[in-house]
Chains A and B, each alone.
Chain A
Amino acid sequence: MKGSLRSITEWLVKPRGILEFSLAVVIIISVNLTVFALLSPVKALKQVNNMPTENTLQQTSRFAPTPEISRLIREKAFYESRLKMAKTDSLVLSVNLPDSILSVEIMGIPIHTIPLNKFETPDFFRLIDNKIVQTRFSEPQQILNAHATTLKEPIRVVHAPKDTNEYNTTVADNNYDTARLRLSFVEYETNEKIRLLFIPIDERSLRHWRTDFAFNIKLSWRSFKQNLKASLQFKVPEYYPIVKIYLPHSDIESIHRALPENALVSIHLN
């Protein structure tokens, strides 16, 4: 026993031994992660499609899932959700993917409407049963987590001058909003485990790539941690379908600054 332990230690101490050991660990982790990552959308779909539906929806269950009926069910759910959001007096977000329109609303009044020229939706939404769509998506979703490269409130602290002399000497341009220099990458995570990722499209500079890379690393690290934690416990990790929305930087910033913490969101699925 002692001898075998010593031989393992000696093997590990060698540079190649460390490499081979690391390789073995990484192979085990990657196989584990792959298996659990592939199981997670299956589990998520099963969970979603097995959710209880309201009795009032029995009527729609008789419909064959033709594209036209699916479209109507999803559209109705979207407007019902928006009507519910309109009853609150706060700023909310509505994402209409089939009509390619995104808008910030308050009490049913669209105040900032943006056409969506480019977006990507996962096919996961197409796999959801119409009955579930009508029940789950006719309710507004709530933003639980937000990650952004821009500040919601770019507050700057200024200490009051002691007298008018100090005021006159420090009156230099204090009014410039430095937060505007940042590029806005924003990700919202809703209570329905949907992630809305806003990516700026109007700038393709080194600064854009750098911010994009740093933001992606941050998001990948978070997913990696979540997946690894779950898979090491032999649990299937949560699956988060990601809707990627490409918008001009100014629009992303306006949306992010407009929405309060835990704002409501309504998503019209395509």
Chain B
Amino acid sequence: MKPLFNINAAKIILHKLQNYLVYGRIKELAAIFLRQAIDSIWRARKAILLIGLCFYVFFGVQNLQELFVKLMYKPGNKQPVENQELNEYQLLLKETERTRTKFSSLVPRSAYLVINSTENEFFLYKNRELIRTGKCSTGSYINLKGENNKEWVFKTPKGMHRVRGKVTDPVWKKPDWAFVEEGLPIPSLNHASRYEYGVLGDYALSLGDGYMLHGTLYKRFIGLPVTHGCIRLGDNDLEAIFKSLSIGSKVIIY
């Protein structure tokens, strides 16, 4: 028996209808949208140009300048040094080498310590080689304001320092700020309450002006900027530094 209608033909018709209804409509809508967008842009052309020019003036001029400089540069020919110039070239080479060697000789062979107060790290060098690195603690940058306009800034002094003294089992003579910070009355200069034993670790190296490299009881704070200007180190690091540095050794803080 013959079917009432061809199923394939129906499918094709349905597909075409679908195409017209869906894609045709989308195309139509897209065309309308595009026309309207172009129309809007055309109407707002002056405002768009104004905004574009403002952007160019603000951000683009510098880039254009750099592009212009790039165009000005014409790379030279990579020609070899000619014979007549060879002697002069060798002289320049020798002079450069001598300047380089002179500069390199400034690095000391003796032991010296470098402290990064931003990252709270230390680097111990000997014979121009890094022999030990680790964490330390440096100044907290706290500005303590006390009574009678007295104030203290707890920062580690940057620059080149030298070891001025070395002590084992150091005793801490507490300065005035140590009492002010805790809300305690300031005792007389040599009062017994000023002396604290065992809080600075086993060794201390003095850098002058009251600043020291020493140990600490608060090991959990090592690596953080928590001190009053001194440099706190872990026990093993302190021992290694104490043994490596002698009086007069350089300590560079940055």
- The answer on a CB contact under 8 Å between B108 and A175 is no
Partner of A254, one of B119, B155, B159: B119
Q: A44 CB to closest chain B CB, in angstroms? A: 9
- The answer on a CB contact under 8 Å between B92 and A60 is yes
Q: Give the size range of A's interface with the partner.
A: 35 or more
Q: B110 CB to closest chain A CB, in angstroms? A: 12
> Residue B72 at the A interface, CB < 8 A?
yes
Residues of B within 8 A of A166 (CB): 183
* A window 210-256: CB within 8 A of B: 220-221, 223-224, 227, 239, 241, 250, 253-254
Q: A212 CB to closest chain B CB, in angstroms? A: 13
Given A64-B79, A159-B145, A177-B141, A106 and B181 contact (CB-CB distance below 8 Å): no
Binds B, one of A5-13, A23-31, A141-149: A23-31
Q: How far is A239 from B68 in the complex, measured between Cα atoms in Å?
A: 12
Chain A residue nearest to B44 (CB atoms) is A19
> Residue A129 at the B interface, CB < 8 A?
no
Partner of A111, one of B95, B226, B252: B252
- The answer on a CB contact under 8 Å between B153 and A76 is no
Residues of A within 8 A of B92 (CB): 60, 63, 69, 72-73, 76
Q: A235 CB to closest chain B CB, in angstroms? A: 16
- The answer on a CB contact under 8 Å between A123 and B65 is no
Residues of A within 8 A of B37 (CB): none
Residues of B within 8 A of A257 (CB): 117-118, 254
Determine chain B's interface SS by DSSP, over half rule: mixed
> Residue A132 at the B interface, CB < 8 A?
no
* A window 87-120: CB within 8 A of B: 89-91, 104, 106-112
Chain A residue nearest to B65 (CB atoms) is A37
- The answer on a CB contact under 8 Å between B80 and A66 is yes
* A window 66-86: CB within 8 A of B: 66-69, 72-73, 75-76, 79-80, 82-83, 86
Chain A residue nearest to B80 (CB atoms) is A66
Chain B residue nearest to A171 (CB atoms) is B182
Q: A251 CB to closest chain B CB, in angstroms? A: 9
> Residue A207 at the B interface, CB < 8 A?
no
Residues of B within 8 A of A20 (CB): 46
Partner of B182, one of A33, A42, A62, A167: A167
Partner of B99, one of A33, A80, A160: A80
Q: How far is A122 from B116 in the complex, measured between Cα atoms in Å?
A: 32
Binds A, one of B55-63, B165-173, B238-246: B55-63
> Residue B217 at the A interface, CB < 8 A?
no
> Residue A127 at the B interface, CB < 8 A?
yes
Chain A residue nearest to B51 (CB atoms) is A26
Chain A residue nearest to B115 (CB atoms) is A111
Residues of B within 8 A of A182 (CB): none
> Residue B129 at the A interface, CB < 8 A?
no
- The answer on a CB contact under 8 Å between A19 and B252 is no
> Residue B82 at the A interface, CB < 8 A?
yes
- The answer on a CB contact under 8 Å between A155 and B141 is yes
Q: How far is A127 from B85 in the complex, measured between Cα atoms in Å?
A: 22
Q: How far is A109 from B65 in the complex, measured between Cα atoms in Å?
A: 38
- A binding-site residues for B, Cβ under 8 Å: 16, 19-20, 22-23, 26-27, 29-30, 33-34, 37-38, 40-42, 45, 59-60, 62-69, 72-73, 75-76, 79-80, 82-83, 86, 89-91, 104, 106-112, 122-124, 126-127, 153-167, 174-175, 177, 220-221, 223-224, 227, 239, 241, 250, 253-254, 257-258, 260
9 residue pairs, one from A and one from B, having the closest CB atoms: A108-B106, A161-B183, A258-B254, A123-B73, A79-B99, A167-B183, A76-B96, A160-B146, A175-B226
Between-chain CB contacts (< 8 Å), 16 pairs: A26-B57, A41-B72, A59-B91, A62-B88, A63-B88, A109-B106, A109-B108, A112-B116, A122-B66, A123-B72, A126-B75, A158-B142, A159-B144, A160-B144, A161-B183, A258-B158
- B binding-site residues for A, Cβ under 8 Å: 46-47, 49-50, 53-54, 56-59, 61-62, 64-66, 68-70, 72-73, 75-76, 78-82, 85, 88-89, 91-93, 95-96, 99-100, 102-103, 106-108, 112, 114, 116-119, 123, 140-147, 153, 155, 158-160, 180-184, 221, 224-226, 250, 252, 254
